[in-house]
Amino acid sequence: MSDRKYDYDLFVIGTGPGGEGAAMQCAKGGMRVAVAERFRQIGGGCTHWGTIPSKALRHAITSTMTALKNPALREMGINTRPSLEQLRRGTQAIIGQQVTMRQSFYDRNDVPIYQGQARFVDEHSVSIDGDEPITAKHFVIATGSRPYRPADADFNHPRIYDSDTVLEMEHKPTSLCIYGAGVIGVEYASMFRNLGIKVNLINTRAKLLEFLDDEIIDAISYHLRDQGVVIRHNEAMESITGEDDGVVLQLKSGKRVKTDALLWANGRSGNTEDLGLENIGLVPNRRGQIPIDEHFQTAVPHIYAVGDVIGVPSLASAAYTQGRSAGMHMLGMADGNLRLHDIPTGIYTSPEISSVGKTERELTEACIPYEVGQAQFKSLARAQITGQTVGMLKLLFHRETLEVLGVHCFGANASEIIHIGQSVMSPEGAPNSMNYFIETTFNYPTMAEAYRVAALNGLNRLF
């Protein structure tokens, strides 16, 4: 396996989930592996300014505001408004734990980490910050992405943020405009509204999160509006003007929105500048993303790309699996892409959204005879006990074979609950059946019991 004419069998650029997945898979497969990281600590955007800090802040906001709404605390005269700095305080400790844990993975597997910017010199060598070239038989580009910034917006203005810089916001605004209603925009709209901030959510499309099932889209739209979020669809930016007392967003429709601060959450760009791609003949698309094939190979077959730098689905969970898949392809262990067709969505709004498989819209367009089973969370004992009664579980299944075709969940713990349905959907043939849910005993009271309730509800519709 090891080719001694090179310094390493694999050199990975980037230590986020995609780079880590590839490095660990190949190191355990007997390859000599090294990685490069330009940031001062490993973990990539996921650990330092994306998934981990944003979800940690979300948890701090949700748990704190829920506690402060407790009538017992009000009765005791506890009525406080936490600052963003106070809510963020625990985030750095969590990031530190993640870095320490991930550092141990590289140490245990004898994978050296080169600190600095890696640039391709030619197809088999890279230089770190201009130092002596390092050669490798294979490469994995896992450099991630960053928020797309329009040229005419001043992101140096203290009231204009993107999804990387918003986590450093020092003063809690009374109102916030979020431009872009994709996953990031909707998550932050929900998060900041929970803090009591007035939120304007500007959507460039006709509806929120169009890739979701229509019923889930309707549910999250209703609950955001019910919480006080103002949503404007089919809008496009004309200009953004930062002023001393706020930010003015001029829309092409003629509308003007002025708020204390603005969060730009419309699109991301792959981190492909300064990689020396011109030296190896790779050309990114207009968003800086690298085209790949089904094995994550670029136009140069021994150079792979994984994670956000290749574009959709731009999920930390998917990036890790993509990295492992690329590693297994190098090792000759797999010729597929490790079940990357059934990646679940996990959207951390309040309440959460998660789904896997087909939507009703897709099944109807494909003329597949399906039926629907639903469980409303308000009817579950566990939800009644915890007070988290908003939400539902929805099962889509073939009305003749009873094969589970899609699972859609909206409510507390949705991103955890979804994996039960994902597991049942994974095998082909008879094992994938609605009968699993009605023949299996679920703990009571639990949220997972929703599967039994939804299955019985759906099967009762058959005739």
Are 172 and 301 part of one and the same domain?
no
CATH number, domain of 414, equals 3.30.390.30
d(CA 240, CA 413): 37
Is there a binding annotation on residue 181? Answer: yes
d(CA 412, CA 417): 9
Are 133 and 273 part of one and the same domain?
yes
Residue 151 inside a domain? The answer is no
CATH number, domain of 189, equals 3.50.50.60
User: What H or E segment, with its residue span, contains residue 131?
Assistant: none
Is there a binding annotation on residue 414? Answer: no
Residue 155 inside a domain? The answer is no
Is there a binding annotation on residue 99? Answer: no
* The two three-digit tokens of residue 382, written as one number: 């566990």
Are 260 and 273 part of one and the same domain?
no
Number of Cβ within a 10 Å radius of residue 76: 9
Are 299 and 232 part of one and the same domain?
no
Is there a binding annotation on residue 273? Answer: no
- For residues 280 and 123, the answer to whether their CB atoms sit within 8 Å is yes
Is there a binding annotation on residue 168? Answer: no
Residue 1 inside a domain? The answer is no
pLDDT at position 336, please? Answer: 59
Are 355 and 326 part of one and the same domain?
no
Residue 13 inside a domain? The answer is yes
pLDDT at position 334, please? Answer: 67
Please name every residue paired with 179 in a beta bridge, in sequence order, or none if there are none. Answer: 202, 264
d(CA 331, CA 345): 29
Question: Pairing mode, if any, of strands 175-179 and 261-264?
Answer: parallel
Is there a binding annotation on residue 12? Answer: no
| 148-151-153 Cα angle (round to 5) | 90
d(CA 157, CA 307): 30
CA distances from 41 to 29, 47, 114, 306, 454 (A): 25, 10, 11, 20, 45
Q: Mark which of 239, 266, 293 sits at the end of a domain.
A: 266
Peptide bond connecting 313 to the previous residue in cis, omega within 30 degrees of 0: yes
pLDDT at position 157, please? Answer: 96
Residue 3 inside a domain? The answer is no
Q: Mark which of 341, 360, 378 sits at the end of a domain.
A: 341
Is there a binding annotation on residue 144? Answer: yes
- For residues 15 and 299, the answer to whether their CB atoms sit within 8 Å is no
3-state helix, strand, coil in the chain (%, to 5): 35, 25, 40
Q: Which residues contact 326 (CB under 8 A, 6 or more apart)?
A: 22, 140, 295, 296, 297, 304, 306
Peptide bond connecting 133 to the previous residue in cis, omega within 30 degrees of 0: no
Is there a binding annotation on residue 186? Answer: yes
Are 245 and 183 part of one and the same domain?
yes
Are 18 and 141 part of one and the same domain?
yes
Which SS3 state, helix, strand or coil, does residue 220 take?
helix
CA distances from 289 to 121, 151, 239, 299, 438 (A): 20, 19, 26, 13, 45
Are 282 and 138 part of one and the same domain?
yes
Residue 152 inside a domain? The answer is no
Is there a binding annotation on residue 187? Answer: yes
| Residue 435 domain boundaries | 351-459
Are 244 and 258 part of one and the same domain?
yes
Are 452 and 361 part of one and the same domain?
yes
Is there a binding annotation on residue 257? Answer: no
Give the residue from 131, 101, 86, 87 showing the smallest Cα distance to 41: 101
Are 167 and 125 part of one and the same domain?
no
Is there a binding annotation on residue 353? Answer: no
Residue 68 inside a domain? The answer is yes
Residue 325 inside a domain? The answer is yes
Low-confidence ranges of the chain (pLDDT < 50): none
d(CA 103, CA 43): 9
Is there a binding annotation on residue 35? Answer: no
* The two three-digit tokens of residue 119, written as one number: 């640039």
Are 129 and 167 part of one and the same domain?
no
Largest CA distance in the chain: 74
| Domains in the chain, number | 3
